[in-house]
Structure 1
Amino acid sequence: MAERTDLRQRIAAQRAEREARALLRTRRTVLRRDGMRCEVQDGNGTPRWLTNFCGNDYLGLAQQFAVAAALQDASSRMGTGAAASHLVCGHHAAHEALEREVAEWLEVPAALLFGNGYLANLAVVQSLLGDNDVCVQDRLNHASLVDAARLSGCRLRRYPHADAEGALRQLRASPGGAAMLATDGVFSMDGDVAPLRELSLAARMQKALLYVDDAHGIGVLGPDGRGSVAEAGLDLRAAPLRLATLGKALGGYGAMVVGDAELVRHLAETARPYIYTTALPPAQAAATLAAVKLARREAWRREKLAALVARFRADAQRHGLELMPSDTPIQPVLCGGNATALAMSASLERDGFWVAAIRPPTVPEGRARLRVTLSAAHTDADVDALVDALAVARNRVGAAADSHVA
């Protein structure tokens, strides 16, 4: 009989390996927020104020007065929790109103509210696919889509990033059963947009359902902020289901699966992550409803955000920083090695900026980066100061490396 593995020894060995590869991760505690300024507690318990350039509050709605007021008012009337799952007694009028508003905004027949985007992606893939089916995915898809396919029991096939012909080849190589082609709309670590028109054609040719996780596109891209699917001009037949996250551009929490009414109804009746979990607090739904109305009405937020993105890219290129091709609020600055990314992030923090270092397995080996994210709540001066600090960080790290080699 084989000897039993000591779990604690395995954990210790894995942590030692992560430490050797500069892959340890630590939490930072936010004590207070004031716009894009955060008072952050470091590992030694010392607080300091930093300008945040690593969050996902793209439209600056997370602290908007009307949104916070809606949360306070609804919680005073409805309490702090839904008390049950949607199908028991936890589906409140605030949930219903939010689903209707989002469906109207995104011009789809139906919307279904989930606790978060991870749950929603698990629900979609597990409720629609099974053992004899296939899910074809972009190699850089969010982890929740990959996990969803693995947990569903279907065959998972990956294609090279943003390669519609590769997606078509994978679909053709997996005959029989049902097929889904799943992709991020905006890729969360690269900031680029999926070739949705070409992918929709590949899906149609192979009778596959196209599912788009538009977590980072909703509110930011497309006419009236309706996301990457709307920007690509796809109708409901081309993209029958998509994910709209409520915790990024809308500044709240939760997610919606929106699209074809029959498919959405099937999710409500069969998806385990929907059936077997407590509904989102109704007060949070009321706050998000206020945020959606602002996102629809206040186009200036998207216009300002686009201007800040253009300003950042122009300034960064003048300083010779290595950017990736992205016109979205996600602006990765490539660093290469894990230690370099960490050192540059630490340099930025010394200068008053919070920009997270992103390392494998979140990104491929050798592609560590600083993931800069912009918000309509930033100012031109914030962006200019960040770019200057990025150039200083690159020079500091380069000088330190040269000194070490010498």
Structure 2
Amino acid sequence: MSDALDRVQAAVAAREAAGLRRVLRPRAASDGVLDLASNDYLGLCHDPRVTAAAADAARRWGGGATGSRLVTGTTELHCDLEDELAAFCRAPAALVFSSGYLANVGVLTALGGPDVAIVSDAGNHASLIDGCRLSGSPTTVVGHRDVAAVDAALAARDTAYALVVTDAVFSVDGDLAPLAELHAVARSHGALLVVDEAHALGVIGPHGRGGVEAVGLADEPDVVRTLVLSKSLGAQGGAVLAVPEVIDLLVNTARPFIFDTGLAPAAAGAARAALGVLAAEPERVAAVRTNAAALAGVLRDLAVETIEPDAAVVPGFLGDPRRAFAAATGCLERGVRVGCFRPPSVPPGRSCLRLTARADLRSADLDRAAGVLAATLADVGVTG
């Protein structure tokens, strides 16, 4: 056996011993399990209007985009989606990528470089972290939501240009970035603010237009937004919202855009339909936040550390990765699916259950979740 394969097997064994090994767990199309783990925040993934639009797009345009966006992968459907995303989010322009991960990597590698300092929040998503690494930019990671640290890092930089990078809603802790304050600091240093709205679109603001729009920054030319179509819109894909000059740069230099096959027509069609539902039914936005608050109340009643949620994400911190995994497994066995986040997704000692609210949860669903969580946490040694 090769030394390289020995190393692989040792790495797998080490993760198993630490309680950090992950495995794929296929789910059935309909299994009767209450879903508190997915990112389908508005309950639109199975909405008949969304699935019908996906099927219609596939029949009309085919199963795939057939090429990269600069060859054959841009259809009229993609352009319509970009126009509608920009209009809904009150952005100057939009550009659709095949995933939110690639949108983040594309933005940071196109806007970054050796002469561009990046200041990045310690709680940012892995796609932002990887984008920073691939950009070639000197990167400073600052404390979570620490505006003063951002200001100090920008003042200390020795590059001509700078980016401030943050999630709008952080994907594990579920809290909001101080976007207005970050923008003021970034502008005072001539930096661009890059905001990942993945967990904010459809959830933040009275109409779900996201964190940037909610604090009045949608028209600011020095703000670049990324978002996903795979969470509140129940489809797949990502997008960048920015001034036309930034969009033009991405089209010409962002490798994840240039060299990747365009978003599948079915996903584009589904996202357009979901965006239409969101625009027509803004009550879904308030419903998801109300349900998130109820889930947080359940955890608090069980003496589990949590937050007062700003969006749909509700963490329940259990600390030990084995305990978190056992709790998630026990919940599933009792018919409720919850997320389980362990290092490296979270820092050591912060393993947690990650509950996600949906707009279509009923009071009976919340009662069911409360009962399952109480029984399961008692089994793993967490009692209220």
Select the residue among 4, 23, 26 that pairs with 1:7.
Answer: 4
Select the residue among 346, 352, 355 that pairs with 1:363.
Answer: 346
Q: Does 1:69 align with 2:66?
A: no
Q: What is the deviation of 1:238? A: 6.5
Shift in alpha-carbon separation, 1:239–1:335, aligned structure 2, 3 A: farther
Letter in structure 2 aligned against 1:26: V
Partner residue in 2 for 1:386? 369
Q: Does 1:105 align with 2:102?
A: no
Query: What does 1:38-49 correspond to in 2, within 5 Å?
Result: 39=31, 49=32
Give the conservation status (yes or no) of the 8 Å contact 1:212–1:239: no
Q: Does 1:288 align with 2:271?
A: yes
Letter in structure 1 aligned against 2:129: V
Shift in alpha-carbon separation, 1:90–1:350, aligned structure 2, 3 A: closer
Shift in alpha-carbon separation, 1:235–1:51, aligned structure 2, 3 A: closer
Partner residue in 2 for 1:23? 20
The alignment covers a number of residue pairs equal to 382
Q: What is the deviation of 1:234? A: 1.7
Between the aligned partners of 1:216 and 1:158, the Cα distance in structure 2 is: 21
Query: What does 1:159-170 correspond to in 2, within 5 Å?
Result: 159-170=142-153
Shift in alpha-carbon separation, 1:104–1:11, aligned structure 2, 3 A: same
What SS does the aligned partner of 1:82 have? Answer: coil
Between the aligned partners of 2:69 and 2:183, the Cα distance in structure 1 is: 32
Query: What does 1:1-400 correspond to in 2, within 5 Å?
Result: 6-33=3-30, 39=31, 49-237=32-220, 239-398=222-381
Q: What is the deviation of 1:264? A: 1.2
What SS does the aligned partner of 1:398 have? Answer: coil
Between the aligned partners of 2:310 and 2:205, the Cα distance in structure 1 is: 12
Give the conservation status (yes or no) of the 8 Å contact 1:224–1:296: yes
Q: What is the deviation of 1:252? A: 0.2
Q: What is the deviation of 1:239? A: 5.0
Letter in structure 1 aligned against 2:27: V
Give the conservation status (yes or no) of the 8 Å contact 1:218–1:226: yes
Residue-by-residue CA offset, 1:151-209 (whole Å, 9 max, x unaligned)? 11111110000111111111112122221000000000110010111111110111110
Between the aligned partners of 1:282 and 1:231, the Cα distance in structure 2 is: 30
Between the aligned partners of 1:399 and 1:173, the Cα distance in structure 2 is: 45
Please report the TM-score for the alignment, with normalisation by the length of structure 1.
0.91
Please report the TM-score for the alignment, with normalisation by the length of structure 2.
0.96
Give the conservation status (yes or no) of the 8 Å contact 1:324–1:334: no
- Of the two, which has the highest radius of gyration? 1
What SS does the aligned partner of 1:356 have? Answer: strand
What SS does the aligned partner of 1:89 have? Answer: coil
Between the aligned partners of 1:11 and 1:161, the Cα distance in structure 2 is: 33
Partner residue in 2 for 1:404? none
Residue-by-residue CA offset, 1:80-128 (whole Å, 9 max, x unaligned)? 1111111112210000100000110011110000000111111111111
Between the aligned partners of 1:283 and 1:155, the Cα distance in structure 2 is: 39
Shift in alpha-carbon separation, 1:364–1:224, aligned structure 2, 3 A: same
Q: What is the deviation of 1:282? A: 2.0
The structure 1 segments of at least 4 consecutive aligned residues displaced by more than 6 Å after TM superposition are none
Deviates more, 1:315-324 or 1:104-113: 315-324
Identity of matched residues, %: 38
Deviates more, 1:228-237 or 1:79-88: 228-237
Give the conservation status (yes or no) of the 8 Å contact 1:162–1:195: yes
Between the aligned partners of 1:32 and 1:235, the Cα distance in structure 2 is: 38
What SS does the aligned partner of 1:86 have? Answer: coil
Between the aligned partners of 2:346 and 2:313, the Cα distance in structure 1 is: 14
Q: What is the deviation of 1:399? A: 7.8
Give the conservation status (yes or no) of the 8 Å contact 2:196–2:227: yes
Shift in alpha-carbon separation, 1:161–1:379, aligned structure 2, 3 A: same
Between the aligned partners of 1:353 and 1:96, the Cα distance in structure 2 is: 39
Q: What is the deviation of 1:12? A: 1.2
Give the conservation status (yes or no) of the 8 Å contact 2:37–2:339: yes
Give the conservation status (yes or no) of the 8 Å contact 1:329–1:373: yes
Shift in alpha-carbon separation, 1:238–1:159, aligned structure 2, 3 A: farther
Deviates more, 1:52-61 or 1:347-356: 347-356
Shift in alpha-carbon separation, 1:150–1:315, aligned structure 2, 3 A: closer
Between the aligned partners of 1:319 and 1:139, the Cα distance in structure 2 is: 29
Give the conservation status (yes or no) of the 8 Å contact 1:353–1:386: yes
Q: What is the deviation of 1:245? A: 0.7
Give the conservation status (yes or no) of the 8 Å contact 1:345–1:355: yes
Partner residue in 2 for 1:44? none
Q: What is the deviation of 1:365? A: 0.3
Letter in structure 2 aligned against 1:387: A
RMSD of aligned alpha carbons: 1.6
Show structure 1 runs of 5+ residues with no match: 34-38, 40-48, 401-406
Residue-by-residue CA offset, 1:273-322 (whole Å, 9 max, x unaligned)? 11111111223212211110101110121122122122222333233232
Give the conservation status (yes or no) of the 8 Å contact 1:340–1:397: yes
